């Protein structure tokens, strides 16, 4: 398996302790409160009607009337995208989430990793993560829309876009073969349910539905997702809370002489004198963070949730 | 979408009523009791350690030490199998579950539907559902093992094999490129959780893991599946109960002059004078059953669960 955040079990096994705070991911640690679930979401196959309600809620949350497909996480979408057309040449704006490139290579595509939006032009398929993970780089919607006219197909992974609704191209999905991926679990703090969405043209979404097959999403995920995505007031309050908390985390990091080099409101990326030493120090306090194989200075932290988690992080950074 | 059981929402919309008994699937209506779930199965990404515990439980339940992969339902496995090798010529023993053929065709394979085990010989890939759906046809393990030497790859879908452990080739998965699919949701009555398994050679399972990508199964599915698959006494009691109930259902059907033409202990297939009329009569009693596009006489019924469900079915059949 490629390196990922969320590998809290390996940290636990190595350092010991049972009271870890996992900041190695960009998953909101103040999750949407679970609704009570009727028994049939567990026992019965999900119905077409229940899935339709989920898609209506998602279309509302993402402010889009484009055709949409629910899948078992944005990761499941990433696995499927390379099958939308015959293997050719994909260009991916990097550094970014490493699974895009892996999925294309595994499906027989040639993959070029490029550093600028301009270098994506001419690709059979281009991938942009917006805002980007791990550096938070943001691209204006109009720049991406222009790019759709210069590539065969553009895939925009908006896994971290919930806190920046103005950045989203979900309303324009399907135009010029634009495909937009959304993650449910990160912003709603429910990564374990495995839920994500693909928005695109009617043809692309129908092809992806055939690749996914029937019942790709669990009954509990459909029920929880429908409730959460319909709750706009929770989303708005969470956007505001995350923005304040991200600023708070930057201040804490500054006191440890780490420099913020980017991030979103779900995670922050810091330049540290020695990322390995910084991660180990925090691990001794049972706080798990994320390094990247291509940098010995970058450390990525998700945002703590409850006040006690903030206190523990502050104490660890003072140590 | 192809025709399937579990389409209870369409029946409800057409006939009305809110107290339906869905016998249109082969899902056990006395489900494994849900364990209480810790919050982190919802909030966190599933860990490698939690997945390993699930696979250990599955290996125990299926009496196999073969390499094994958990996926989001046997259906998810069916979607992935055609990608194990380049598209060639698949032969499928039919009539059977219609998604096998659809998945191969969608992935660019040529598909031959054949009527006998012998006609599968020579195939690049052969698919046998054992016991079969909808007619319950059973194949002896030794016949299928012999077949592995006469095809490039044999896929045995054991979605309904839990009630017939002696029939299972799970312990031999990986030998001669034998791939075995298992469904969690049917026997355990928890189809909504979306959980299934693929057993095969180390090479095949590694390739399928790469196709599935990280975190294909939800945290709740991992937790529920681990508990259920570890509980051998529940499984043994359920095998006995299903056997008795299947015989009970056959007696009820006989009283309506339906002839049992096959089935497993999770569903029964009946030859009726007029399947459409029989299904409609039961639907008026809010009992939903399954017809097949290729027969106007066959009606398939899952087994009722609670005593009140048996009473309602008996009354409807007397009507």
pLDDT band at A1 (very low <50, low <70, confident <90, very high): low
pLDDT band at B1 (very low <50, low <70, confident <90, very high): low
Q: Do B45 and A78 touch (CB under 8 A)?
A: no
State residue A94's pLDDT score. 97
- Return d(Cα A181, Cα A159) in angstroms, integer: 7
Nearest CA in chain A to B32: A43
Is A30 near chain B, with CB under 8 Å?
A: no
Distance (Å) of CA B130 to CA B140, B159, B163, B180, B319: 9, 8, 11, 10, 35
- Return d(Cα A70, Cα A46) in angstroms, integer: 12
Residue among B22, B46, B194 whose CB faces A215 most closely: B194
Is B266 near chain A, with CB under 8 Å?
A: no
How distant is the alpha carbon of residue A287 from its chain centre? 21
CB-CB neighbors (< 8 A) of A40 in chain B: 192
Q: Provide the Cα torsion A199, A201, A205, A207; round to 10°.
A: -150
Residue among A40, A73, A217 whose CB faces B215 most closely: A73
What would the pLDDT profile of A51-89 be if each residue is shown by its tens digit? 999 999 999 999 999 999 999 999 999 999 999 999 999
Q: Which of residues 83-102 of A touch B (CB under 8 A)?
A: 99, 102
State residue B8's pLDDT score. 87
What would the pLDDT profile of B198-221 be if each residue is shown by its tens digit? 999 999 999 999 999 999 999 999
Quick check: B19 pLDDT over 90?
Answer: yes
Query: How many percent of chain A have pLDDT more than 90?
Result: 95
What would the pLDDT profile of B249-296 be if each residue is shown by its tens digit? 999 999 999 999 999 999 999 999 999 999 999 999 999 999 999 999
Q: Supply angle C-alpha A149, A154, A157, rounded to 5.
A: 145
- Provide the 3-class DSSP secondary structure of residue A92: strand
Is A200 near chain B, with CB under 8 Å?
A: no
Give the sign of the dihedral formed by CA A68, CA A71, CA A77, CA A82. negative
Is B192 near chain A, with CB under 8 Å?
A: yes
What mean pLDDT comes out for the span B103-109?
97
State residue A285's pLDDT score. 97
Please say whether the beta carbons of A196 and A184 come within 8 A: yes
What are the structural domains of chain B?
Answer: 8-31+233-318 (3.90.1150.10), 40-230 (3.40.640.10)
What mean pLDDT comes out for the span B78-84?
98
Is A218 near chain B, with CB under 8 Å?
A: yes
């Amino acid at each position: 398996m490629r390196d990922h955040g969320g590998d809290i079990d390996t940290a636990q096994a190595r350092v010991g302790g049972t009271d870890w705070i996992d900041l190695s991911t960009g998953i909101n640690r103040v999750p949407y409160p679970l609704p009570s679930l009727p028994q049939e979401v567990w026992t019965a196959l999900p119905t077409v009607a229940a899935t339709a309600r989920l898609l209506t809620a998602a279309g509302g949350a993402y402010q889009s009337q484009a055709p949409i497909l629910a899948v078992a996480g944005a990761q499941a979408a990433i696995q499927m995208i390379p099958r939308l057309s015959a293997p050719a040449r994909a260009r991916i704006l990097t550094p970014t989430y490493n699974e895009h490139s892996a999925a294309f290579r595994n499906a027989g595509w040639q993959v070029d990793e490029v550093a600028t939006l301009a270098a994506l032009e001419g690709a059979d398929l281009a991938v942009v993560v917006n805002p980007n993970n791990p550096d938070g780089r943001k691209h204006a919607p109009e720049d991406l829309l222009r790019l759709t006219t210069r590539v065969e197909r553009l895939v925009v992974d908006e896994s971290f876009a919930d806190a920046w609704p103005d950045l989203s191209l979900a309303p324009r999905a399907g135009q010029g073969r634009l495909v937009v991926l959304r993650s449910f679990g990160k912003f709603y703090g429910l990564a374990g349910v495995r839920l994500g969405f693909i928005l695109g043209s009617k043809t692309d979404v129908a092809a992806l539905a055939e690749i996914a097959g029937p019942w790709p999403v669990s009954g509990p995920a459909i029920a929880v997702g429908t409730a959460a995505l319909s709750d706009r007031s929770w989303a708005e309050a969470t956007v505001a809370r995350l923005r304040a908390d991200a600023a708070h985390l930057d201040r804490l990091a500054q006191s440890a002489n780490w420099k913020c080099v980017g991030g979103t409101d779900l995670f922050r990326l810091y330049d540290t004198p020695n990322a390995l030493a910084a991660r180990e120090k925090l691990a001794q306090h049972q706080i798990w963070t994320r390094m990247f194989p291509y940098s010995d200075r970058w450390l990525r932290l998700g945002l703590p949730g409850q006040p006690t988690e903030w206190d523990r992080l502050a104490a660890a950074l003072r140590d």
